[in-house]
Amino acid sequence: MIAIVLGTRPEIIKMSPVVRECEKRGLDYFVLHTGQHYSYEMDRIFFEELELPRPKYNLDVGSGTHAEQTGKIMIGVEKILMQEKPKIVLVQGDTNTVLAGALAAAKLHIKAGHVEAGLRSYDKRMPEEINRVLTDHISDFLFAPTEVAKQNLIRESISENSIFVTGNTIVDAVYQNLEIAKKKVSVLKELNLKPKEYFLVTTHRQENVDVRERIKGIIRGLELIHNEFAIPVIFPIHPRTQKRIEEFGFNLNGVTLINPLGFLEFLQLEANAKLVLTDSGGVQEETCVLGVPCVTLRDNTERPETLEVGSNVLAGTKPERILGGVKLMLNKRNNWKNPFGDGKAGERIINAIMSEVGT
């Protein structure tokens, strides 16, 4: 039996190809939703729009400090693992759910598999970096998305025999979910936008939105972009970001704020944008796969492949650098080669599991 532990919407997206592969093969598996970001009731629409089966278990741990949240998830996951006795626990990414799920499995001597292993920003101020490094070192199977990620693991003395280069499940997810989006949503029409005639923005990381000078720099950068290019700057604003902007007393001039979008709507907006500005790791990958230029509002990235192929540039949060990054990316041809695989990562992950631990 395979246990798939997830707790955030990005994890649902990136685990969707693995879930679909389990369904396709009729494997014995279950999904455990920790509710790290939202309760299952709030995420139910997410599973429905991606046409995924409902999770078997829901912990609804909610928010809290990193320690509180990680502890609650470990307690809940442990009880279910003791009851279900799966052969392997799969986690994905770098959240508190990932670390807690892998720790609970390791303490019970259940095999743990880390999907998207080996990513490194080398910035330990980021809680995500702590989570991904620790998870890699307690997991039995490391599903690295790229050769770069594999080499990161080998440099940390992780056995090469436990590493499988599978490609990134985001490629599978983008291809699969774009097809679903075509059938279900028409967000450009609803927002009165034309393809390639708007910029798209996302920012939510605490090291950006919780620091007054950094979020101020991002806002001023967006204003410079609007003044320079005179096309809409669309910003589906994260609740945390909106709260901080209001607390700091900032105004956004020339930026169109909209409510957070469902993944299918966001994916459609992303695929048709002229350029995307983001601090999200997943969005850096998605834009690379979609052939859309990206400017990352961070000083580092655990997705260096996007920089190497030329789909992305690091701009930090200084307004002039952000504008310069946009100009640079718009002057480049977007004919880069996608470094994240061929859209069969989910299949390779399940093949490896069946080969190593059976079903």
Lookup result for tokens 């999904």: 31
Is the distance from CB of 191 to CB of 258 less than 8 angstroms?
Answer: yes
Contacts of 292 (CB under 8 A, 6+ apart): 270, 271, 273, 275, 276, 311, 334
Type of residue at 232: P
Exposed/middle/buried for 167, CB within 10 Å: 0-12, 13-18, 19+? buried
- CA–CA separation, 34 and 194 (whole Å): 38
**Nearest-angstrom CA–CA distance, 42 and 52:** 15
**Which H or E run contains 30?**
strand 29-33
Spatial separation of the C-alpha atoms in residues 268 and 292, rounded to whole Å: 12
Please write down the long-range contacts of 326-334, taking CB distance under 8 Å and 24 or more positions apart: 326/199, 326/225, 326/228, 326/229, 326/275, 326/277, 326/295, 327/228, 329/275, 329/293, 329/294, 329/295, 330/274, 330/275, 330/293, 332/293, 334/291, 334/292, 334/293
Residue with tokens 């997810």: 173
In degrees, rounded to 5, the angle at the alpha carbon of residue 106 between the alpha carbons of residues 103 and 110 is 130
Query: Active-site residue numbers?
Result: 204
Buried b (16+ CB within 10 A) or exposed e, 4-18: bbbbbbbbbbbbbbb
Say which residue the tokens 């590493």 belong to.
Answer: 163
Longest CA–CA separation in the chain, Å = 59
Find the distance separating the first CA and the last CA of the chain, reported in whole Å: 6
- State how beta strands 88-92 and 2-6 pair: parallel
